[in-house]
Amino acid sequence: MHAPSTRRILVTSALPYANGHIHLGHLVEYVQTDIFVRFQKLRGHHCIYLCADDTHGTAIMIRARAEGTTERELIATMREAHLADFAGFQIAFDHYGSTDSDANRRLCGEIWSRLRARGLVVSRDVQQLYDPQAGVFLADRFVKGTCPKCQAADQYGDSCEQCGAAYTPADLVDPVSTLSGARPEVRSAEHLFVTLEPLHDFLATWTRSSGAVDPRIANYLAGHFLCDPLRDWDVSRPAPYFGFEIPDAPGHYWYVWFDAPVGYLAATDEWCAARGDTVAAWWGRGGANEPPAEIHHFIGKDITYFHTLFWPAMLEAAELSLPTKVRIHGFLTVNGAKMSKSRGTFLLARTYLDQLDPGMLRYFYAAKLSGGIDDIDLNLDEFAAKVNADLVGKVVNLASRTARWLETTGLSARYPDDGGLFAQAAADGAEIAAAYEDCDFARAMRAIMLAADRANAYVDAEQPWKLAKAGPDASAKLQDVATVALNLFRQLAVYLAPVLPVLAEQAGRLMGGPIRSWEESQAPLVGLPVAAFEPLMKRVEKTQLEALLAASRAEAEKDARHKGATAMEPTPATSSATPPVTSAAQDSGEALAAEPLAPTCTIDDFAKIDLRVARILTAEEVPEAKKLLKLTVSLGGDATRTVFAGIKGFHEPTALVGRLVIVVANLAPRQMKFGLSEGMVVAASGAGAPGVYLLSPDSGALPGMRLH
């Protein structure tokens, strides 16, 4: 063992945006960070975990308006919800701040002054679309219009989903504000920029050789940003904007991504203020008397360049410490696919907490996280199997099967011969600790479960249940065997304490008191009383998982109704997601549940849609398209239409020719990448089963007949 630690470690997770609730995707990051922090604390290091709500920006402003409330009420409510969700998952922040705080305003100002002093702030006019009705400048996503390149309708302001063209909102044909429906006007406004090019060499060197950035990420940055002169970073927004007004530029506000990372500093400041510590002690570069603190940022891969380019640039300009490590993780998929509201796999934190034990998800994530940027998958069947086998079957069961024999006698006075089991697991501690340090929690969990296997094999070989029946002569031996088993259990609890703090507490209550140090894994306990055993963890039942998905779907429906949305997302016509397991004996309610009925419409509404019988004349593959077949249909006579239908992969083109189908005959033509689509072929699909099923009329129907 080495001398007491002098490591001081400041750890952050990315700030969750105050515009939405915490879901299981967010939790990958917070659980990962929390495990790392708890591990460092258990090792005796001076480690603090800081985070905050990210509260500013257009989205918050718009949402507050829509809900008829103020921004500050909105973010206060959301903050409470976030804190409750984090507490539920045992995320133990040392301080949780807000970007809408005095400390943040002050620190933004200080950094701003440093940027100004170094001549890194420049001003330039920017052409931006303005919604005269709502009275706001429109961010790209709040403008829709026709793509200037391919004429596809209904495209966002920054790029076209049909042809992939990138442009600015001002290029859109017939732009419309999604806020008010008004036609936006192009206005010129002054914006302030941070020029990053003077820091180019610094960033190139830092990303490559500081060790803070994974080499793969450094490569990506080198190939995408650092190969050209760095573009100036637009850090201001004109009023109205929910955020901080820039002190030396009245009417201008710091862009949300400027003040968000400063939130790390502000959270530090608030934590320090309560303890007589100083931000400089953690973020300062000076102080030759003590080594600088380590700074670890945990982030998702989507915000990589903010944390590896902009943020280091700000810190460098302000002469503050740079991150020791930017630890980047991937995204969460559920059952092999992106979280989806219609499949019930868009799982909110509190929905999970209503059904299941948070420790189980913490363990599952730990078993999946290996420190890389790969996405991880939450397969619910695997989740149940893993948690039940590892935690319930191996770890908890070890105590459950032996503790009762020690309730009266307590642990043996001297640690018995266990064939070297405890010593072996103690020696494994170095490897397990190294895995935790690398954030390769999967490796740590594997090593811990191997120790659990050995412990269970020991119990099996010693057969304490036979000793218990053998009478008084065997009682000393029985006590010894149970003493070994419980010590091995406690050792596991120490190793798992960063992941399962509640299990660690339970183990402490059972015997030996609270687990406070990693070192407790190195020496067995003897001669102590053992408390009455209480069940530690229950198996995950399939019904709980079903309840989770059902609750989640109900949540999504409520949400959809609230927003008045008619369709939550495109039909997953070619989804490869595993279909939910349901009995085939009777029709499942799955499809209906997944896509609730649309609001009632009148017969007049229905009459607007002209559905006709049509005959498919030609059907051909569109080689470049993933989902589309190009069809020519006849409505009788010489009325024909070209229709692109999203049925590729489900229907053979040749088998379709001659077939009667139903088409929406009066649908506005839509310009698609591969040509103009003049209608829509009606087909059934749903979340309950994969596939797309064309509708056909009874025999006798003729092209051109209308559906009434």
Partner RNA sequence: GGCAGCGUAGCUCAGUUGGUUAGAGCACCGGCUUCAUAAGCCGGGUGUCGCCGGUUCAAGUCCGGCCGCUGCUACCA
Nearest-5° Cα angle at 590, 587 to 595: 130
- Closest Cα to residue 260, out of 429, 130, 99, 420? 99
- Decide if 495 contacts 488 (C-beta within 8 A): no
Nearer to RNA, 237 or 612 (CB): 237
Nearer to RNA, 18 or 614 (CB): 18
Nearer to RNA, 225 or 271 (CB): 225
Least separation in angstroms between residue 443's CB and RNA is 7
In sequence order, what DSSP letters do the residues of 342-368 get, joined into one string?
TTT---BHHHHHHHS-HHHHHHHHHHH
Nearer to RNA, 87 or 705 (CB): 87
Give me the helix-helix angle, 441-462 and 421-437, nearest 10°: 170
- Residue 216: is it exposed, middle or buried by C-beta count within 10 angstroms (0-12/13-18/19+)? exposed
Nearer to RNA, 205 or 219 (CB): 219
Least separation in angstroms between residue 570's CB and RNA is 12
Nearer to RNA, 8 or 338 (CB): 338
- Decide if 367 contacts 445 (C-beta within 8 A): yes
- Residue 563: is it exposed, middle or buried by C-beta count within 10 angstroms (0-12/13-18/19+)? exposed
* Element counts in the chain: helices (H) and strands (E): 23, 26
Nearer to RNA, 60 or 635 (CB): 60
Residue 471's region, left for phi above 0, alpha for psi from -120 to 50, else beta, is left
- Closest Cα to residue 241, out of 76, 100, 80? 100
**Tokens standing for 485?**
């088993």
Least separation in angstroms between residue 22's CB and RNA is 9
Least separation in angstroms between residue 568's CB and RNA is 11
Helix (H, G, I), strand (E, B) or coil at 198: helix
Nearer to RNA, 164 or 291 (CB): 164
In sequence order, what DSSP letters do the residues of 83-130 get, joined into one string?
HHHHHHTT---SEEEESSSHHHHHHHHHHHHHHHHTT-EEEEEEEEEE
Q: Which residues contact 543 (CB under 8 A, 6 or more apart)?
A: none
Nearer to RNA, 235 or 619 (CB): 235
Nearer to RNA, 28 or 313 (CB): 28
Least separation in angstroms between residue 642's CB and RNA is 21
Q: How many Cα atoms within 13 Å fall on the side-chain side of residue 231?
A: 6
Nearer to RNA, 110 or 375 (CB): 375
Nearer to RNA, 10 or 449 (CB): 449
Least separation in angstroms between residue 140's CB and RNA is 5
Nearer to RNA, 280 or 531 (CB): 531
Least separation in angstroms between residue 173's CB and RNA is 18
Least separation in angstroms between residue 34's CB and RNA is 13
Least separation in angstroms between residue 446's CB and RNA is 6
Q: Which amino acid is at 358?
A: P
The position carrying tokens 């954030």 is 439
- Residue 471 phi/psi, 5° resolution? 95, 180
Q: Is the omega angle on the peptide bond into residue 501 within 30 degrees of 0, that is, cis?
A: no
Q: State the SS3 of 628-653.
A: CEEEEEECCCCCEEEEEECCECCECH
The position carrying tokens 């920054």 is 158
Least separation in angstroms between residue 202's CB and RNA is 23
Helix (H) or strand (E) holding 677: strand 675-677
Least separation in angstroms between residue 445's CB and RNA is 10
Least separation in angstroms between residue 40's CB and RNA is 20
User: Within its chain, how far is the Cα of 46 from the centroid?
Assistant: 28
Least separation in angstroms between residue 41's CB and RNA is 22
* Rounded-to-5 percentages of helix, strand, coil across the chain: 40, 20, 40
